[in-house]
Amino acid sequence: MIELKNVKNYLAPLPVILVTTRLQENNIKKDNIIAISWAGICDHAPHLININIAKGRYSGKIIKLTREFGICIPSSKYLKEIDLCGTTHGNKVNKFELTKFTPFEAKSINVPLIKECPINMECTLEDVISFESHDMLIGKIVKTYVDENYIDEKGNPDFAKLEILAYLNDEYWTLGKKIEDLFFTKKK
């Protein structure tokens, strides 16, 4: 083993997700999408999820203001659109127009979700933990949608079909193949 001169964070893989927001003033809706990889699961009763956004980012400001956001899990088919959402800023461009993603209305929050994403979740902001460069925004998942074309016979998302992306050390990767079920060592 070689000890690196500087500490590095090589935690991998991380998900690649799209987080949607809406700022509504009078009847004018300003919708936005940010690409996020620093994200994880905090709890399951209720389902809590964390997304970490650099301080000062437009999306973080809107989520703290409106206290709601969408989590949309894209497939690798939309790599260019995903990257665009992570390189442009919602205060300057309309990323729905830029990517041509199709918005659809969430049911319990005033935020658009993305039709092209096989999984969409509605979240309400539960908590914010402020770190030096990033804010950890903790959201409660209040609704989950899966595209009917990506559901397996047990009613779960068919991840073999979804072609989700992973983020590894500033690179996009696709997943390999399934090798086992969780807790397979406990099975007889």
List of residues contacting ligand FMN (CB under 6 A): 16, 32, 34-38, 52-54, 57-59, 83, 86-90, 167
Provide, rounded to whole angstroms, the least separation between the CB of residue 74 and ligand FMN.
10
Cα–Cα nearest to 62, from 143, 141, 145, 137: 137
Provide, rounded to whole angstroms, the least separation between the CB of residue 79 and ligand FMN.
9
Nearer Cβ to ligand FMN, position 89 or 102? 89
Nearer Cβ to ligand FMN, position 175 or 182? 175
* Tokens representing residue 137 in the block: 């925004």
User: Which residues make beta-bridge pairs with 35?
Assistant: 18
Provide, rounded to whole angstroms, the least separation between the CB of residue 83 and ligand FMN.
5
- C-alpha dist (Å) from residue 13 to 69, 87, 101, 165, 168: 23, 21, 25, 9, 5
With a CB cutoff of 8 Å and minimum separation 6, the contacts of 152 are 158
Provide, rounded to whole angstroms, the least separation between the CB of residue 90 and ligand FMN.
3
Q: How far is Cα 71 from Cα 69, in angstroms, rounded to an integer?
A: 7
152: amino acid identity, one letter:
D
Nearer Cβ to ligand FMN, position 93 or 156? 93
Nearer Cβ to ligand FMN, position 13 or 86? 86
Nearer Cβ to ligand FMN, position 36 or 49? 36
Provide, rounded to whole angstroms, the least separation between the CB of residue 142 and ligand FMN.
22
Q: Which residue is nearest to ligand FMN (CB)?
A: 86
Peptide bond into 46 cis (omega under 30): yes
